[in-house]
Chain A
Amino acid sequence: MKLEVKNLSKKFNSTIAVDNISFIIEKNKTLGLLGPNGCGKTTSIGMMLGLITPTSGQIFIDGIPLDAINRIKLLRFMNFASPYIELPKKLTVKQNLEVYARLYGVKKFNQRIDEMVLDLNLHNFLNKKTGELSSGQKNRVALAKSLINKPKLLFLDEPTASLDPDVGDFVREYIENYKKKNELTILLASHNMNEVKRLCNKVIMMKQGSIVDSGTCDELIKKHGRKNLEDTFLKIARSDNEME
Chain B
Amino acid sequence: MRWNRIFALSLRHVYLIKGSFPRILDLIYWPTIQIFLWGFISKFFTLSSTYYENTVGVILSAAILYDFLFRSSISYNMMFLEEIWSRNFTNLFIAPIKLSEIIAALTFTAIFRTLVGLVPAAFLAIPFFGVSIYKIGMPLIFLLLTLYIFGVTLGLLVTAGLVRFGPSFENIAWASLFFLAPLGCIYYPIEILPEWLQFIAKLLPLVHIFEEMRNILIYGIINYSQILKAIIISFIYFSFGVIIFYLSYNGAKDRGTLINMGE
Contacts and interface: CB of A to CB of B under 8 A. Distances in A.
Contacts of B19: 90-92, 95, 129
- Range for the number of chain B residues in contact with chain A: 35 or more
Contacts of B229: none
Interface stretch (B92-100, B177-185, B186-194): B92-100
B135 interface: no
Interface in A42-95: 42-43, 45-46, 49-53, 72-73, 75-76, 78-80, 82, 84-92, 95
A108 to B, nearest CB: 13
B90 A99 contact: no
Given A85-B87, A85-B260, A104-B96, A98 B11 contact: yes
Nearest to A42: B259
SS class, residues of chain B in contact with chain A: helix
A37 B243 CA distance: 36
A140 interface: no
Contacts of A23: none
A88 B85 CA distance: 9
Interface in B242-263: 250, 253-256, 258-260, 262
A112 interface: no
Given A92-B19, A103-B9, A87 B88 contact: yes
B8 interface: yes
Contact of B88 (A85, A95, A102): A85
A105 interface: yes
Contact of A86 (B2, B12, B86, B259): B86
B96 A103 contact: yes
B25 interface: no
B82 interface: yes
Contacts of B48: none
A154 to B, nearest CB: 11
A103 B8 contact: yes
Interface in B85-132: 86-91, 93-98
7 contacts: A52-B258, A72-B97, A88-B16, A91-B16, A102-B4, A102-B5, A129-B19
Given A46-B259, A49-B94, A51-B253, 12 more contacts: A51-B93, A52-B258, A78-B94, A79-B94, A82-B90, A85-B91, A86-B88, A88-B16, A99-B8, A100-B8, A102-B5, A103-B96
